[in-house]
Structure 1
Amino acid sequence: MKRSFIRYISVQVHMEEHGDTLIGALVVGNEILLGKTRDTNTIFLAENLLRRGLKLRRWVVVPDNERDISRELSRFMEDGYGIIVVSGGMGPTHDDITVRSIARGLGISLGFNEKCYRRMVEKWKRNNPGKKMPETARSGLDKMAYVPADFDLIENENGMVEGLVGVVNGGRSIVFILPGVPGEYRGIVTTRKFQDYLPRKDASSVTIIEIPFRGKESMIAACLGEVQKRFRDIDIGSYPQGPMNVVIRVTGDRENVMRAVDEIRDRLREAGFSD
């Protein structure tokens, strides 16, 4: 019985030729590694970067452990990453150690940031009108006001703790430290200040074509592998959307993408699948 692969969707974005500016995400959280929380933040980041013609090149998740955080940050910098987006572990509790771990990994000191503290106190007062701040809350705000030396603040309009950004590694890397709460993370990523730190260079066109396929992924694996061998400068991936639905995604320069899509369609027809 024939199963058909139907329409295809062409999406065109501008992919910047950003040279050696590699972008990575370092996510901190035991709850993610334990499967208790899904990291939707990094997916949002990757989608946001793609709309700007940029690509997330590495995504690492580590536990709430100072050595692991510092080690992975060092690996990013050793591998030449120009932008590293760290998230999670910025809260007031004892296991929120990300900011301290990043500072130690960079070999820089933490200092009390009066501006950061004032902003958080103002937020607390707005959220608790007429109430006296308890000592536990004041202690938590005090902890979150310690910022790595020379890091700047990025205002968090959706939560308490501020986002942080610093130019490090002798000017070769930019490190963001963002809260892990999705609404807060997304709000900061879409700020003008965050976006202004991203690369801005001449853009060339990149085309993304998605081909919905009705069938199992195993039915098209060999076909896609053969096409990928012929078109090494583009990306061909298959993504199951259910037991009998797969999306084939082809990404790259328009000419090669269109040629690869035509070849995929021809090969699937030859295998007995119809449009």
Structure 2
Amino acid sequence: MVAVKKIGKLEAEIITVGREVLTGKTLNTNSQWLSGKITALGGVVRRHITVDDRVQDIAKAVEESLNRGVDLIIVTGGLGPTFDDVTREGLAEAFKRKLRLNDSAVQMITQRYSQLRGLREEEVKLTGLQRRMAEMPEGSKPVMNPVGVAPGIVHECGSTLTVAMPGVPKEVEGIFESYVEPLIRRRVGGFQLYELNLLIAGVSESIIAPMVGEAMKNYAPIYIKSHPMGASLIKLDITCGGKDVKEVGDRVLSAASFILRRILQGFNDCSGTRVVNHPFNS
């Protein structure tokens, strides 16, 4: 298990590998799901990037994230046995390490095939392509894939932890929840995210924008995102994170009240402005 060196904010970047995403054939649901999970756990996702199934593209993307000094890099896709699964090679180039067969990974793959085929482990004979899934950069560690076969890859480089996973969504979710999520929870020290959603009718985004900016300044560190939903219909997502449930909740509600008061004060005739709903999610 990788040690967590400090408690505090965790910054992450997500790298997706796959030409099928770049060509529009596959929707990148992995990045959306991962971002939601990391944010809900108290982390901050700084960047998404999608690259082709080319070693040099993968290596460059990982090197850029390493150079930015983020805490966590998640790479999805390209860990299978086929010819275009070259994430292992890209990671090795980025880390400047040789690619080696990892005995622990071989054992994990053998165990998974044994479970999936109903065989004893000694009866499982891996092919060359299947053994290829056990290759990883020197110094890396394999992570058991609880859903599929190909193990995840974990590598520490300075203060940055890189976790690579197969691109199948259920496998991404399985490895994240079993391995990455506990690491994030220990790192952020009980940090949680809280959100209040307001749907406001009768006001345009240009009118409400300065009020949102003032609220973010007055009630920092809240974050407010406005979403135009149609003519004179705005959805506001007001979020704030912290360890004290009451303090964070009060801050979010105070910011919402501030915006609503300012909206009402800004109109002589307030009958056209109304709050449609305001579910509070925590």
TM-score, normalised via structure 1 length: 0.79
**Corresponding residue for 1:273?**
273
Per the TM alignment, residue 185 of structure 1 is displaced from its structure 2 partner at its CA by 0.6
Q: Which runs of 5+ in 2 are unaligned?
A: 1-5, 241-247, 276-282
2:128 aligns with one of 111, 123, 139: 139
* Residue 55 in structure 1 maps to residue 44 in structure 2: yes
Question: 1:228 corresponds to which letter in structure 2?
Answer: V
Deviations 1:12-56, CA, capped at 9 Å, x for gaps: xxxx9725x421111111111222112222222222223322222
Q: Which amino acid aligns with 1:184?
A: E
d(CA) in 2 for partners of 1:98 and 1:76?
Answer: 15
Given that residues 204 and 232 in structure 2 are in contact (C-alpha distance below 8 angstroms), is that contact kept between their aligned partners in structure 1? no
8 Å Cα contact 1:228/1:235 also seen in 2: no
The residue that corresponds to 1:82 in the other structure is 71
The residue type equivalent to 2:252 in the other structure is V
Letter in 2 for 1:263: F
Task: Determine the structure 1 residue equivalent to 2:259.
Answer: 264
SS of 1:190's equivalent in the other structure is helix
Correspondence list, 1:28-43, <5 A: 28-43=17-32
Question: Helix, strand or coil: the match of 2:274?
Answer: coil
Report the counterpart of residue 44 of structure 1 in structure 2. 33
* Counterpart residue number, 2:3: none
Computed over aligned residues only, the root mean square deviation of the Cα atoms, in angstroms, reads 3.0
Is the 8 Å Cα contact of residues 76 and 84 (structure 1) preserved in structure 2? yes
Q: Distance in 1 between matches of 2:229 and 2:257?
A: 22
Question: Does the C-alpha gap of structure 1 residues 244 and 147 become closer, same or farther in structure 2, counting only changes over 3 Å?
Answer: farther
What is the deviation of 1:126? 3.5
Q: How many pairs were matched up? A: 251
Q: Which amino acid aligns with 1:91?
A: G
Percent of pairs with identical residues: 24
Q: 1 or 2 for the larger relative contact order (CA 8 Å, sep ≥6)?
A: 1
1:127 is the counterpart of 2:127: no
Q: Distance in 2 between matches of 1:125 and 1:200?
A: 35
1:124-273 to 2 correspondences below 5 Å: 124-129=113-118, 138-168=127-157, 171-191=158-178, 193-198=179-184, 200-202=187-189, 207-213=194-200, 220-230=204-214, 231-232=216-217, 233=220, 234-239=222-227, 247-252=235-240, 253-254=248-249, 256-269=251-264, 270=267, 272-273=272-273
SS in 2 for 1:159: coil
Partner deviation per Cα, 1:104-140 (whole Å, 9 max, x = no partner): 111011110122123223322433357x979xx7122
- 3-state SS, counterpart of residue 127 of structure 2: helix
Partners of 2:232 and 2:173 lie apart in 1 by 33
Structure 1, unaligned runs of 5 or more = 1-15
Deviation, structure 1 residue 206: 5.2
Question: Using the alignment, how far apart are the partners of 1:210 and 1:17 within structure 2?
Answer: 29
Distance 1:256 1:225, change over 3 A: farther
Separation (CA, whole Å) in 2 of partners of 1:39 and 1:208? 24
Q: Any conservation in 1 of the 2:63–2:94 contact (CA below 8 Å)?
A: yes
